[in-house]
Amino acid sequence: MIWYPYEQMKTMKEPYKIIDAEGVFLKTPEREMIDSVSSWWSVIHGYKHPALTAAIKEQADQFSHVMLGGLVHEPVQRLADKLQQFLPGDLNYSFFSDSGSVAVEVALKMALQYYVNQGKQKRTKVLALTHAYHGDTFKTMEVGDDEDYHFILEAYGEKKNALHIPSKIPALEEAFEKYHQELNCFLVEPLLQGAGGMRMYDLSFLVRARQLCDQYGVLLIFDEVATGFGRTGNRFVADLVLPDILVLGKALTGGYIGHAVTVANQKVYEGFYSDDTKKALMHGPTFMGNALACSVALKSIELFEQENYMAKIRRIEEITRREMDGFMDPRIAEVRILGGCVCVEVKDPGVLKGYQQFAYEHGVFSRPFLNCLYAMVPYIITEEELVKVLATMKAWFGER
Ligand SMILES: *Cc1c(COP(=O)(O)O)cnc(C)c1O
C-alpha cells in the first residue's frame, strides 16, 4: 500500500495512473496531458529525452553506483569540474547528496561548523524568510516557515535556532543589527519562494543581504533547489548576487533521478581545511555522487548550455506575459510572472477546488496548492502547448 505525500489518505482522490511519458506529456490509459508542474519543477527537458536516457543507459552498462567514501569515479569528477566551471564566482566545492532537503541540511551544518571550527560556539541561529520552504526533514522544517506543511513542529514549542523575517529591507537591517552575533547564516530561496506560495521579491533585498552578511561576517546561503537552472529567468540568482553556499537539486538531473549538491565557496571550504580531523565535515549520504545521477546531471547541464535554454525561458516568459495580459477576476488577488513561473493567487483557496480534474479534462496536469494556481512548465514546451496551459487556467475563471 502506498502512503502518498501531503495527503489525508482517508479523503484523498484517486491519483492519475501514468503509463508513459514523453516530451511535455504524461499519458494515462485514457488521455495525454501536458505536465504544467514538470514533476515538481524538475523535468526541465521533458520526459524521455533521448540524450538523457542514453547517458543513464551508458553509465548503467559500466556501473550504477559505488560509494564515495574512499572511492572516486569519472562521472562524479566530471560533474564536480563542470559545476566549478558553470557556477559563478568561487563556488567551487561540491558536496553531493540524494535530495534537496538533505543538501540544505548539509549547508546548515557547514554554516554552523564554519564558526564552531573558529571557536565561535554561540553562532547557532539561522535567519530565514517568512513563508520559507527548504524541505521536509527536521532541521529544514525548523528553518522553514509554513504552518501548512510543518505545523507538526509546534509540538516542540518555539523554534530556538531559527528567526524569520519578511523579504523587506528594513526588517533585514533590524534583524542583523539585533542578532548578528548569534547568526551563522542567512538562508533564502532567492527571488522566488516556491512551496511557501510562489512569492516573488526584489533583487535589491538580496543585494542588501549580501552587504549585511559581509559587514557582520554572516554566511549567505541560497537555496536554489527550485530557482536554479533558469526558473527565474536567470541561470542562477547566484549570477546576480553571489552567496557563500549554493544549494541545487530538483532540475540538477533534468528530473531523471534524485540528486542534489551543496556548493561552497573558497572561504567556507578553508574553514574546514586543517590538520585537525575534528574540523572535517562529518557527513556522507550513502548514495552521494551516484554514478547514474552524475552522468545524467552532466548531460542535462550540457543540453542547457548547448541548446540555449536561457533563450527558451525568455520566450516562455514573453508568451506568458502576452497571454496573461489584462487577465483578471474578482476572485483573483494577483497574477505573478517571473521567468518560467506563473502564479495566479486567489483570495480564497476554495476557488481552486475541482481545478485539477477540470485541467485533466482539458489535457493539462496541474496541482494547485494553498491559494496558488501556477505553472512551471518544461522548458522544451512549444508555444501552442504553453498557450493551452495558460488558456486552461483562464478558462477556469471564465466558465464559472
Ligand atoms: C523542493 C525543495 C526542497 C527540498 O528538496 P527535496 O528534493 O524534495 O528534498 C528544498 N528547497 C526548496 C526551495 C525546494 O523547492
- Residue 148: per-residue pLDDT: 74
> Ligand 1: distance of its center to the CA of 24 in Å?
22
Q: Are 264 and 219 in contact (CB under 8 A)?
A: no
Tell me the CA–centroid distance for residue 248 and ligand 1, in Å. Answer: 9
Handedness of CA 66, 68, 69, 73 (dihedral sign): positive
Pairing of strands 192-193, 219-223: unpaired
pLDDT at 119: 97
* CA 258 to ligand 1: nearest atom: 7
Which residue is closest in CA terms to ligand 1's atom 15? 226
**What pLDDT is stored for residue 155 in this prediction?**
87
Ligand 1 centre distance from Cα of residue 368 (Å):
17
Q: Which residues of the chain carry a pLDDT beneath 50?
A: none
Looking from the CA of residue 227, the nearest atom of ligand 1 is: 13
CB atoms within 10 A of CB 304: 21
122 catalytic, yes or no?
A: no
Q: Which atom of ligand 1 is nearest to 226's Cα?
A: 15
Rounded to whole angstroms, the Cα distance separating 192 from 12 reads 29
| Centre of ligand 1 from the C-alpha of residue 103, in Å | 9
Q: Can 93 be counted among the known catalytic residues?
A: no
- Give the model's pLDDT for residue 159: 85
Residue 80 has phi, psi (to 5 degrees) of -60, -40
How many CB atoms neighbour CB 61 within 10 A? 8
For residue 195, the ligand 1 atom closest to its alpha carbon is: 15
250 is catalytic: yes
Asked if residues 76 and 68 have their Cβ atoms less than 8 Å apart, the reply is yes
With a 6 Å cutoff on the Cβ, whether 228 touches ligand 1 is: no
Does residue 133's CB lie within 6 angstroms of at least one atom of ligand 1?
Answer: yes
Say if ligand 1 is within 6 A of residue 226 CB: yes
* Cβ contact 93:271 at 8 Å: no
**pLDDT in the model for residue 399:** 63
CA of 195 to the centre of ligand 1 (A): 9
Q: How many H-runs (helices) and E-runs (strands) does the chain carry?
A: 13, 16
Q: How far is CA 305 from CA 229, 309, 311, 312, in A?
A: 10, 7, 11, 11
Predicted local distance difference test score (pLDDT) of residue 400:
59
Q: What is the dihedral of CA 89, 285, 101, 270, to 10 degrees?
A: -30
317 lines ligand 1 (CB under 6 A): no
Look up residue 340 and give its amino acid.
G
Alpha-carbon span 344 to 324, nearest angstrom: 10
Does ligand 1 have an atom closer than 6 angstroms to the CB of 46?
Answer: no
0.95 cut: is pTM over it? yes
Q: Are 251 and 276 in contact (CB under 8 A)?
A: no
Averaged pLDDT score across all residues of the chain: 97
| Ligand 1 center to 389 CA (angstroms) | 24
| CB distance 223 to ligand 1 below 6 Å | yes
Ligand 1 pocket test, pick from 41, 98, 250, 341 with the greatest ligand atom count within 8 Å of Cβ, gives 250
**Residue among 114, 133, 256, 309 flagged as catalytic:** 133
Cα angle vertex 165, ends 160, 169, to 5°? 145
Looking at residue 150, its pLDDT comes to 76
Taking the C-alpha atoms of residue 233 and residue 300, their distance in angstroms, rounded to an integer, is 17
Which of 125, 139, 250, 299 does the annotation list as catalytic?
250
In short, whether 285's Cβ falls inside 6 Å of ligand 1 is: no
Q: Distance between CA atoms of 237 and 167, rounded to whole angstroms?
A: 15
User: 399 C-alpha to center of ligand 1: Å?
Assistant: 35
pLDDT of residue 151: 82
Q: Which is the catalytic residue, given 35, 98, 146, 223?
A: 223
> What's the maximum distance between 2 C-alpha atoms anywhere in the chain?
69
